[in-house]
Structure 1
């Protein structure tokens, strides 16, 4: 049990007055000892600095100490339309129909995300769907006014709903922190009870009563996703801890089972004195459970997780199969259907093998349990699916990059022994997204995530052009006007370069040293360790993967490695020329890329929790580490200066010396990159963790920066996506929506059939038994 003490510091008077907080974590058994030490220090500070320290105080954190504004989406959060109209118009009728069915498969499957995030997310989704389905927004607004809503509160409520929909749950897809309404829950409760939905549906208010008590609360364990003893997750039952996860990992390693599409539950009562674990596979089939003893526990492997949702996904995939463009796509979809039916990952891996062989399709799509960012253990994945059409003009740049990739890889700082035996030239396309069903939209993707396929058979890279292009013009913090103008003007250009290098040559590079099942090795045993100078002494054993060995750190570590590749390679003139930039323009794009990325590492502090000392987002952790590497390089290459802003409040000045990118920045990042690869290749989780945490540690100075970043934070963008509409015969049209919170809500209402929402509710009601303390005080057994 961890406790947190908060040390509040106030200083003044004058324009520089302010407040800061220091957080101290300690175990329960050391509470009195830790408190007495800190109290002693406070007395000394008050005695020696009475003017500045008279208001020093020490108290235990409580829910009342939480800054609620951090968990409320601002009413002015920008909503960007994901524009794909021109790309969609260029498709044939058959291609549009294929895109429609694949989109439906993706969206129906992505309802599972709500079941993966938090115990209340599915119930909130069901409540909102029925609320807005039963009557118009205008009608609800009138009722809201009668319930005491101001216009600003009504807008805030709609923004909460839009943000909930966009993030596929009540935790941010980027940052993993809880989202709560910026409106008094009593007013929302009154609105629910006066709604048409309450009159039409006998279960509406019962569902609402389950989620209402936790929707707006900010207890310490509710603030972020994490293991059940200190966070929220539905990848596990609430009684699962890290020791349980490690045991199941050992079992799965012995059985050579991969956990991408699983969840883990532990019975609350033992069976014959043994702990019972349930490893649940996502599948439409519900039969075929097996039971086995392992390390004095019983492990039950059972199918049927999200069963009705997987059945819907399979039904849509079967329709897409009928209008697929070629035999490769048909084989791919058939394997996907087997996977979602049977629950066996091997079928999805087979489907992925066909997918990487489907070269340059007009319609690109991928679907499954893909990214493991949000699982506290880093091995179970969130459902996602996307459908997009190729932007041929931009794709030509990426094709050129692929054609030269083998030569470019030789520039990376680890040499041939650390690179794949054969570079498997991937398909790399620029896409305009038609549908993306997940907890957020990335700018680029390198998939599949299966190590054995990526290393030995190939992969694909995609850059999502209409996501990159949808950038709201906001005032930028911590930089001067000249740099801000450059970022606004050249962000798309520089980010396109970074995404290309990050995905193809970052995620697509590097070798994992492995012992094969027959005892042979996939590398020369005399290969020299880049760090020790001695022969490589560690490797991946059969059944081990990158994610299983590096666990929760794997996502941030790999994103950092890929980001670093982008930093160093964007310095090369011939690479920039591939993207169409030469001479002065090339230098500008290079500078803007470094400026944007290293500054992003500073802004990333917003996603660091001072209370738990954890990072809420893998990309943020990765960028912060690289910012620290550049700061360590010295020579005033990167400077971050604390100051007072024009508004009289604490501020920062960020500066990057463009003249020192090649001579200071690149060598520093290159040296760090070599170490990252050495630890990754050799499965050296201890060395890799030590290296990464050295730079990822947030000290007192960075905590001050964090306070300023949070105080001056800008709202993140949300997207509103179009829907494909099929007339039942042969015509598919694209329906777009206003770039408003109301537009987001309407798009979700028209995306799903009521039957799918009923099935989501059925899955949710079965799951609730695993989260009794999270939903304490609610009657969810009705």
Structure 2
């Protein structure tokens, strides 16, 4: 597929659109680097089943049941019910389970339980995912309420204030324990004077057996062993073709962590990974982000394989080289600033493989590690994923979205002129400096903000980027073309936070996901705080609501004020202040505005969520079986890829 004829769009269904991303520059890499990417990609794909199981205890059996029907049913497939089942299966693949990947609500099938049972009965029992000794009746009795009953496991992650977040969440991180029991279990492990605390509970399932609360650790010989053994097999091959000794040690420590499950080893691995700034090829593989745990402790499995975009990285290197200047000039209280910013590295990468919690839906920027003490002492590594952003931009070109929701010609001109630049730059600032800025006061528990921690942290990083986009330093460093460029991101951000991200929410629902909560919190707070001076307005014209920014400079001052308060909340561990901000600004939805936005969006025939189909890597072998080249192709379809992954990487 040539660059000019590359087809970014794969297919669209429900509220989802599947895209392809191009791995620009792969063909020019050396053979050892191609091999390294191939081995790391295999290691990434071997972990697929882990995330399905983490997202819900019945997900794997439900997926395999639906796949068996999809592959083996010989009856009529053109009926509305079978087509509804096909869409349901595609949604389960996309979400790595039966709950929406972003909103966390359970999908309600548009086919009946009677119809599903008729399909099951038409199949030979040998193709069904029956557990040992399980009958078809027992399978249906167990799974049908989970699939069809809206009251059974309705939310993967519940964040409702005042409820037991563990008992009301379907995520498979806890069994038989209450929220209070879980919090007490981990509180008892923490030492008040520990300056290098591990991320307690990160790689385990917390269960109560015979009245005793205990952890089932994810490691070889423990939970998820079969998948982790396959991951390690490919990591060992990758270690043999590592670019240098530092990278080889990174892989060795990760293998050791998978064998032992020891969180101190994971910290050693994270520090070594931070030190590897010279390798062209890089990767993440492991239990990383905690958004799927209502308590924000247990980490979902994910992987990304990538290599550095040398040209685009000049932008992020400029930012990271000036990290101390940004920290020093931040509007937050001096008590919460880092006296010395250490180890901030940033780059733009080309994604080569997405897996686990980064597939099919992916972040466009990543900042790791998540350990607060490692960030403070050793720094962080930040990436912006350039070829995914490219795919999003290409697919969105000319789709009518801006014309429908943007206030007027001047705002459209700003977006057309600057939005691609400032959107990337905001991501860079968010990941590279925002997450790496500030510090906790001595003795503050990193988990003090509990269920609101993720929202507050994302708001902190977003505000850092928003505050600095208009700064004269941006022009001085050559990061933006002129002093007006930032207005494109300000307008886009406020429109999204106040209005257009509502297209991702079902009528009658509240905002649940941490990134969406963060954006609404910032936008609504700024709207309210600037109301008297009409800094930002919601205006109605011809029966349609629009966002109008009247004073961009004052809006920046508001962002700075909120950044200072949110950094204080984070640094002091002020749970009650975090709760009030989130509950007052981030959660509730204006039902009338929501209905209007949904109706306007529906007429555009767009999908609010995007995800990706991975490229396929095929090794070229000589007569002795040695790899002489690795070819990359892009023609695999969505269902074709998902079925192949289920065939080749079903390890649990």
TM tier, shorter chain?
0.7 to 0.9
- Residue 178 of structure 1 and its aligned partner are, at CA, apart by 2.1
Q: TM-score, structure 1 length as denominator?
A: 0.72
Greater Cα shift, 574-583 or 680-689: 574-583
Which ranges in structure 1 are unaligned for 5 or more consecutive residues? 1-72, 286-303, 516-539, 646-650, 761-782
The residue number in structure 1 matching 2:626 is 729
Match of 2:235 among 312, 317, 329: 317
Report the CA distance shift for 1:211/1:466 in structure 2 as closer, same or farther (over 3 A): farther
Match of 2:442 among 495, 514, 538: 514
- Is the 1:221–1:229 Cα contact (8 Å) retained in structure 2? no
Match of 2:300 among 382, 385, 396: 382
Alignment of 1:414-563 (within 5 A): 414-439=332-357, 440-471=361-392, 472-473=395-396, 474-476=399-401, 477-480=404-407, 482=409, 483=411, 487=415, 490-515=418-443, 540=444, 544=445, 546=446, 548-563=447-462
Structure-1 separation of matches of 2:145 and 2:217 = 30
Match of 2:171 among 233, 249, 263: 233
Match of 2:311 among 393, 408, 429: 393
- Residue 691 of structure 1 and its aligned partner are, at CA, apart by 3.9
Match of 1:744 among 617, 630, 638: 638
Report the CA distance shift for 1:593/1:458 in structure 2 as closer, same or farther (over 3 A): same
Alignment of 1:201-220 (within 5 A): 203=130, 206=136, 209=140, 210-219=142-151
The residue number in structure 2 matching 1:518 is none
Structure-2 separation of matches of 1:747 and 1:576 = 44
Residue 706 (structure 1) aligned with residue 594 (structure 2): yes
CA RMSD of superposed structures (Å): 2.8
Residue 626 (structure 1) aligned with residue 554 (structure 2): no
Greater Cα shift, 482-491 or 112-121: 482-491
Report the CA distance shift for 1:698/1:642 in structure 2 as closer, same or farther (over 3 A): farther
Structure-2 separation of matches of 1:198 and 1:641 = 60
Structure-2 separation of matches of 1:74 and 1:488 = 28
Deviations 1:728-769 (A, max 9, x none): 53132223235xxxx122112333554x42x42xxxxxxxxx
Report the CA distance shift for 1:737/1:160 in structure 2 as closer, same or farther (over 3 A): farther
Structure-2 separation of matches of 1:469 and 1:284 = 38
- Residue 172 of structure 1 and its aligned partner are, at CA, apart by 2.4
Structure-2 separation of matches of 1:481 and 1:721 = 38
Aligned residue pair count: 602
Which ranges in structure 2 are unaligned for 5 or more consecutive residues? 1-11, 159-164
Q: Secondary structure at the match of 2:46?
A: helix
Report the CA distance shift for 1:82/1:489 in structure 2 as closer, same or farther (over 3 A): farther
Report the CA distance shift for 1:191/1:408 in structure 2 as closer, same or farther (over 3 A): same
The residue number in structure 1 matching 2:162 is none
The residue number in structure 2 matching 1:92 is 30
The residue number in structure 1 matching 2:102 is 174
Structure-2 separation of matches of 1:357 and 1:310 = 25
The residue number in structure 2 matching 1:248 is 185
Structure-1 separation of matches of 2:420 and 2:56 = 35
Structure-2 separation of matches of 1:339 and 1:475 = 48
- Is the 1:99–1:387 Cα contact (8 Å) retained in structure 2? yes
Greater Cα shift, 321-330 or 689-698: 689-698
Residue 639 (structure 1) aligned with residue 537 (structure 2): yes
Structure-1 separation of matches of 2:40 and 2:139 = 32
Residue 365 (structure 1) aligned with residue 365 (structure 2): no
The residue number in structure 2 matching 1:574 is 473
Deviations 1:178-225 (A, max 9, x none): 234444454454445445x75656849849634344224422751452
- Is the 2:69–2:119 Cα contact (8 Å) retained in structure 1? no
- Is the 2:422–2:486 Cα contact (8 Å) retained in structure 1? yes
Structure-2 separation of matches of 1:652 and 1:725 = 51
- Residue 446 of structure 1 and its aligned partner are, at CA, apart by 0.6
- Is the 1:737–1:746 Cα contact (8 Å) retained in structure 2? no
Q: Secondary structure at the match of 1:750?
A: helix
- Residue 156 of structure 1 and its aligned partner are, at CA, apart by 4.8
- Residue 169 of structure 1 and its aligned partner are, at CA, apart by 1.7
Structure-2 separation of matches of 1:609 and 1:357 = 44
Report the CA distance shift for 1:277/1:616 in structure 2 as closer, same or farther (over 3 A): same
Q: Secondary structure at the match of 1:252?
A: coil
Report the CA distance shift for 1:350/1:707 in structure 2 as closer, same or farther (over 3 A): same
Greater Cα shift, 684-693 or 477-486: 477-486
Deviations 1:617-668 (A, max 9, x none): 10110000111122121222222246775xxxxx5222223xx111x10111
- Is the 1:722–1:747 Cα contact (8 Å) retained in structure 2? no
Structure-2 separation of matches of 1:346 and 1:315 = 22
Report the CA distance shift for 1:490/1:194 in structure 2 as closer, same or farther (over 3 A): farther
Q: Secondary structure at the match of 2:366?
A: strand
Structure-2 separation of matches of 1:198 and 1:485 = 61
Structure-1 separation of matches of 2:516 and 2:617 = 34
- Is the 1:87–1:389 Cα contact (8 Å) retained in structure 2? no
Match of 2:79 among 116, 141, 149: 149
Report the CA distance shift for 1:240/1:99 in structure 2 as closer, same or farther (over 3 A): same
Q: Secondary structure at the match of 1:389?
A: strand
Structure-2 separation of matches of 1:177 and 1:80 = 23
Report the CA distance shift for 1:511/1:129 in structure 2 as closer, same or farther (over 3 A): same
Structure-1 separation of matches of 2:334 and 2:90 = 49
Structure-2 separation of matches of 1:575 and 1:461 = 19
Q: Secondary structure at the match of 2:315?
A: helix
Alignment of 1:662-741 (within 5 A): 662=553, 664-696=554-586, 698=588, 702-713=590-601, 715=607, 716-727=609-620, 729-730=626-627, 731-737=629-635
Match of 1:110 among 48, 53, 56: 48
The residue number in structure 1 matching 2:9 is none
The residue number in structure 2 matching 1:351 is 269
Structure-1 separation of matches of 2:374 and 2:459 = 22
